[in-house]
């Protein structure tokens, strides 16, 4: 029997973030990617105990972001399950409560960095153990070079992040970097789109795995890492990673609505 047709359009050689003339269409695009990102995390075995969160800035109200409402398993996420979070932490669109820690972590970053559309964080099998070393990534793999020049460490014992002030300290520690390693907590990645942030997040987890499994690895030279980073730091690399991820893990993207 022939294989069923793919639900995704043909994947371009170089993935580019689409542009929109209608803000409603742009919002729906971000919402769909956000819901699909949660499902991708679930397919990778992440967030099974409700740990973690992915935010998507609203294109019309840039001081607000969309977040999965509390109580919905990541693998069940749909567009209708997303709620709009205001600067004060209240839900202004959608029905449901939110994970307060998500607000405390994400809002200060979105507020400090207007170019950031998405922030992603969860507790993973290698990112969390690596964060306990309180050390940055080294250029010991191709993927690692995507982060060695754009990373920081939040060296703080604030693990629950139960206040906005604590989140502000995370935003300050992160600065303009793509990756922030939260001490004894895990990885945090920001991106210019949902696709970029989540694609790079998955790459960062694989880098953490390499570090954990090869503690005595020999890094490449600074010059070699810089050459690799000139390609690997591009947002299109994260977007392409995200596209491959969805096609591998979520055959039918219409499940999110």
**Cα 198 from chain centre:** 4
CB 91 within 8 A of CB 83: yes
- Give all strands (DSSP E) within the chain, no chain letters: 53-57, 65-68, 82-85, 91-93, 118-122, 151-154, 179-182, 186-191
In tens, the pLDDT along 108-145 reads: 999 999 999 999 999 999 999 999 999 999 999 999 99
Classify residue 13 as exposed, middle or buried by CB count within 10 Å of its CB (0-12, 13-18, 19+).
exposed
d(CA 161, CA 100): 9
If one compares 23 and 9, the residue with the highest pLDDT of the two is: 23
Write out the two tokens for 136. 């940055």
Are 16 and 252 in contact by the 8 Å Cβ rule? The answer is no
Buried b (16+ CB within 10 A) or exposed e, 179-188: bbbbbbbbbb
End-to-end alpha carbon distance in the chain: 29
Could you report the per-residue pLDDT of 204-232, keeping only the tens digit for each? 999 999 999 999 999 999 999 999 988 88
Proportion of the chain above pLDDT 70, given as a percent: 95
Res 192: pLDDT:
97
Range in 57-66, 165-174, 247-256 the model is least confident about = 247-256
Selected from 3.30.360.10, 3.30.2130.10, 3.40.225.10, 3.40.640.10, the CATH number assigned to the domain covering 23-256 reads 3.40.225.10
pLDDT confidence band for 1 (50 / 70 / 90): very low
| Whole-number pLDDT of residue 2 | 53
Q: Is the pLDDT of residue 102 over 90?
A: yes
């Amino acid at each position: 029997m022939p294989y069923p047709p793919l639900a995704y359009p043909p994947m371009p050689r170089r993935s580019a973030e689409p542009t929109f003339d209608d803000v409603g269409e742009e919002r729906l695009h971000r919402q769909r990617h956000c819901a699909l990102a949660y499902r991708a995390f679930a397919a990778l075995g992440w967030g099974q105990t409700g740990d973690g969160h992915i935010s998507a800035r609203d294109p019309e109200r840039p001081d607000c972001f969309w977040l999965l409402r509390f109580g919905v398993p990541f693998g069940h996420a749909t567009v209708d399950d997303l709620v709009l979070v205001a600067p004060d932490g209240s839900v202004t669109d959608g029905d449901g409560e939110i994970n307060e820690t998500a607000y405390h972590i994400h809002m200060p970053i979105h507020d400090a960095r207007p170019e950031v559309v998405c922030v992603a964080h969860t507790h993973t099998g290698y990112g969390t153990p690596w964060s306990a070393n309180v050390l940055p990534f080294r250029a010991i793999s191709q993927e690692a070079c995507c982060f060695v020049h754009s990373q920081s460490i939040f060296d703080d014992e604030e693990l629950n992040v139960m206040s906005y002030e604590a989140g502000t300290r995370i935003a300050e520690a992160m600065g303009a970097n793509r990756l922030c390693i939260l001490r004894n907590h895990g990885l945090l990645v920001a991106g210019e789109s949902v696709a970029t942030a989540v694609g790079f997040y998955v790459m960062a987890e694989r880098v953490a795995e390499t570090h954990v499994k090869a503690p005595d690895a020999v890094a490449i030279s600074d010059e070699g890492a810089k050459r690799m980073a000139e390609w690997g730091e591009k947002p299109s690399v994260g977007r392409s990673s995200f596209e491959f991820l969805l096609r591998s893990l979520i055959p039918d993207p219409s499940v999110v609505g």
